[in-house]
A and B are shown apart, each in its own frame.
Chain A
Amino acid sequence: MNPDAQGRSYGPHEPYEVSRAKIREFADAVDARSFAHRDVDAANAEGYADLVAPTTFAVTIAQRAEFHVVQDPEVGVDFSKVVHADERFTHHRPIVAGDEISTTIHIDRIVSRGGVSTVTTRAELADLDGAPVATVISTLAVREDA
Chain B
Amino acid sequence: MSDQDAPSYEGLEKGQIVATREVAFTRDTLVRYAGASGDFNPIHYNDVFAESVGLPGVIAHGMLTMGTAASVVEEWAGPGNVVDLQCRFARPIPVPNPGEAVVSFSAAVGNLDDETRTARIDVTVEFEGQKVLMKAQALVNCV
Give the B-binding residues of A (Cβ under 8 A).
22, 25-26, 28-34, 36-37, 43, 45-48, 52-56, 59-60, 63-64, 79-81, 83-91, 94
Question: Within 8 Å CB of A28, what residues of B?
Answer: 32, 36
Q: Is A46 a contact of B80 with CB atoms below 8 Å?
A: yes
Q: Is B80 a contact of A36 with CB atoms below 8 Å?
A: yes
Q: Given contact pairs A30-B36, A33-B71, A46-B79, enumerate 9 new A-B contacts (beta carbons under 8 Å).
A: A22-B36, A30-B64, A30-B68, A34-B79, A45-B4, A46-B4, A48-B80, A60-B38, A86-B89
Q: Is B62 a contact of A84 with CB atoms below 8 Å?
A: yes
Instruction: Give the secondary structure class of A's interface.
Output: mixed
- Which residue of B has the minimal Cβ distance to A96? B80
Instruction: Give the secondary structure class of B's interface.
Output: mixed
B74 on the A face (CB < 8 A): yes
Inter-chain CA distance A59–B66, complex, in Å, is 11
Question: Within 8 Å CB of A64, what residues of B?
Answer: 38
Q: Can you pick out 20 interface pairs between chain A and chain B where the beta carbons lie within 8 Å of each other?
A: A25-B35, A26-B37, A29-B33, A31-B68, A32-B67, A34-B79, A43-B79, A48-B2, A48-B80, A52-B80, A55-B70, A56-B63, A56-B67, A56-B85, A84-B63, A84-B89, A87-B62, A87-B63, A87-B86, A89-B84
| B47-65 contacts to A (CB < 8 Å) | 53, 62-64
Question: Within 8 Å CB of B21, what residues of A?
Answer: 31
B13 on the A face (CB < 8 A): no
Most buried by B among A52, A63, A79: A52
The smallest C-beta distance from A19 to any residue of chain B, in angstroms, reads 12
Lowest 9 CB-CB distances: which A-B pairs, in order? Answer: A47-B2, A30-B67, A94-B80, A55-B70, A88-B86, A29-B36, A32-B71, A34-B79, A36-B79
